[in-house]
């Protein structure tokens, strides 16, 4: 069987990650126990995990040229991820994420400017020609993280039309999420995902017409809904959790790999993909940072 190919559309950040004994108080200087620099962002990390699972991963994102991109490019090449960069508006800067991981608990505190696709000065560039050069039908799965929505929405629409399963990693609800959901086959969202309309998240996703929906809740069980009903998938406890940073992203890379390799046909297949994603996430949280687990 050829390696499945995955298209990942969304945010790429430069992550500055430090391990600390405890978070600093205002105006305090503390010593880090370890540190690392890598590309980050949900779609980006998912692409890395997809490649690690044996797939061919292509990331569609926006990062301007410069020293940060040079560093991110090296990291993604080492992770086996091909990158297609859409044109960026003049003056757009790289999104930096400052992350402190607490030793002992593995909890992460993240500060980031988030998606800058529409922020700042400069002319918004039309991505039409860039998007037309991407053949969404040539992939076995498309995963989007809700960022760079002007790239994700047309690509998701084309993928779906071609019968390619479309997966959403819903980290938080955004105004563009409703439109994106029209093209989504499987939405797996974090507990921070809260639709503006309020109400139950699984109700919202099924009313939006998403056939396969789930909510991940860290170490707690995954709640899901399909056309055949609701269910709950236990998460295997992981001994020696060092760093939960990126767990959700890597979960999605594994989930997408399972969908790409086996398709998404019924509740059993959805559950198997969720379980595979949970296994990849479980592997990723046993070491510091977002790359050490790759070995």
Q: Which residues bind ligand ATP (CB under 6 A)?
A: 42, 171, 190, 216-219, 222, 235, 238, 241, 244, 246-249, 251, 278, 281-282, 285
55 vs 171, which CB is nearer to Mg ion? Answer: 171
Q: Which DSSP state fits 161?
A: H
Nearest to 75 by CA among 90, 89, 94, 88: 94
69 vs 276, which CB is nearer to ligand ATP? Answer: 276
* Chain CA centroid to CA 208, Å: 21
Distance, in Å, from the CA atom of 149 to the CA atom of 115, rounded to the nearest integer, reads 10
Minimum CB distance to ligand ATP, residue 146 (Å): 11
Q: Strand 56-61: give its sheet, edge to edge.
A: 81-85, 56-61, 5-9, 141-144, 166-170, 186-190, 212-217, 220-226, 229-233
The reply on whether position 248 binds Mg ion by CB under 5 A is yes
What x/- string results for residues 157 through 196 when contact with Mg ion is judged by CB under 5 A? --------------x------------------x------
Minimum CB distance to Mg ion, residue 190 (Å): 5
111 vs 124, which CB is nearer to ligand ATP? Answer: 111
**78 contact partners, CB below 8 Å, separation of at least 6:** none
Size of the site for Mg ion (CB under 5 A): 3
79 vs 248, which CB is nearer to Mg ion? Answer: 248
Minimum CB distance to ligand ATP, residue 135 (Å): 29
Distance, in Å, from the CA atom of 177 to the CA atom of 19, rounded to the nearest integer, reads 33
């Amino acid at each position: 069987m050829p390696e499945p190919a995955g298209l990942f559309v969304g945010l790429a950040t430069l992550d500055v990650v430090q391990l600390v004994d405890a978070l600093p108080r205002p105006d305090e200087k503390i010593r880090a126990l370890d540190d690392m620099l890598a590309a980050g962002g949900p779609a980006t990390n998912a692409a890395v995990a997809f490649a690690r699972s044996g797939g061919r991963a292509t990331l569609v994102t926006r990062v301007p040229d410069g020293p940060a991109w040079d560093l991110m490019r090296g990291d993604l090449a080492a992770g086996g991820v091909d990158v297609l960069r859409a044109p960026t508006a003049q003056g757009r800067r790289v999104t930096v994420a400052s992350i402190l991981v607490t030793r002992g608990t593995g909890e992460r505190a993240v500060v980031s400017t988030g998606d800058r696709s529409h922020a700042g000065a400069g002319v918004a560039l039309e991505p039409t020609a860039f998007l037309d050069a991407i053949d969404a039908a040539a992939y076995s799965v498309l995963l989007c993280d809700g960022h760079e929505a002007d790239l994700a929405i047309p690509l998701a629409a084309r993928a779906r039309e071609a019968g390619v399963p479309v997966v959403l990693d819903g980290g938080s609800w955004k105004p563009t999420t409703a439109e994106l959901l029209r093209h989504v086959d499987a939405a797996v969202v974090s507990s921070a995902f809260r639709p503006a309309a309020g109400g139950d998240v699984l109700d919202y996703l099924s009313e939006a017409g998403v056939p396969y929906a789930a909510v991940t809740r860290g170490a707690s069980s995954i709640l899901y809904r399909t056309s055949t009903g609701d269910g709950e998938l236990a998460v295997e406890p992981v001994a020696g959790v060092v760093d939960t940073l990126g767990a959700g992203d890597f979960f999605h890379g594994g989930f997408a790999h399972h969908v790409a390799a086996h398709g998404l046909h019924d509740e059993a297949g959805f559950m198997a993909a969720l379980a595979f994603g949970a296994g990849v996430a479980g592997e990723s949280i046993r070491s510091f940072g977002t790359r050490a687990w790759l070995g």
